[in-house]
Amino acid sequence: PIYCAKKTKTHKDELGICRVLLAELEAHQDAWPFLTPVNHRAVPGYRKVIKKPMDFSTIKEKLTSNQYLNLETFIIDVNLVFDNCERFNEDDSEIGRAGHRMRRFFDKRWTELLQ
């Protein structure tokens, strides 16, 4: 098109995209390590090493209680899940590999949804 205005997204539009993205993350077969908060009693060292724990159920609670200002603050929390995973797990481990696959899936999906 000759004239291509950037379509701004309202707060409502962005939150709708967050809901879609979170549902797809939760449904992914590699989501199992990230669905609920890491049990720091069962995982030695986790509480000491990971200063800002985050998981998909916590993100869902924040989303439904309107704690995300926009898509960006939501993406920051999702990336925190994957950054925590990389910090605590070997790349060559079940959970480490799941984290890399989930991050790759997320990056692809939110860029697709924003095009």
Ligand X SMILES: Cn1cc(C(=O)NCCN2CCCC2)ccc1=O
Q: How many residues bind ligand X (CB under 6 A)?
A: 9
Interface with ligand X (CB under 6 A), residue from 15, 22, 31, 38: 38
- Does 68 participate in binding ligand X (rule CB under 6 A)? no
Task: Return d(Cα 84, Cα 49) in angstroms, integer.
Answer: 9
- Does 95 participate in binding ligand X (rule CB under 6 A)? yes
Task: Return d(Cα 101, Cα 83) in angstroms, integer.
Answer: 13
Residues in contact with 22: Cβ distance below 8 Å, sequence separation at least 6, in sequence order: 56, 59, 60, 63
Cβ at position 81, least distance to ligand X in Å: 8
Interface with ligand X (CB under 6 A), residue from 34, 56, 68, 74: 34
Q: What is the Cα gyration radius of the chain?
A: 16
Identity of residue 26: E
Taking CB under 6 A as the binding criterion, the range among 12-20, 57-65, 67-75, 83-91 that sits at the site for ligand X is: 83-91
Residue 14 or 30: the one with the smaller Cβ distance to ligand X is 30
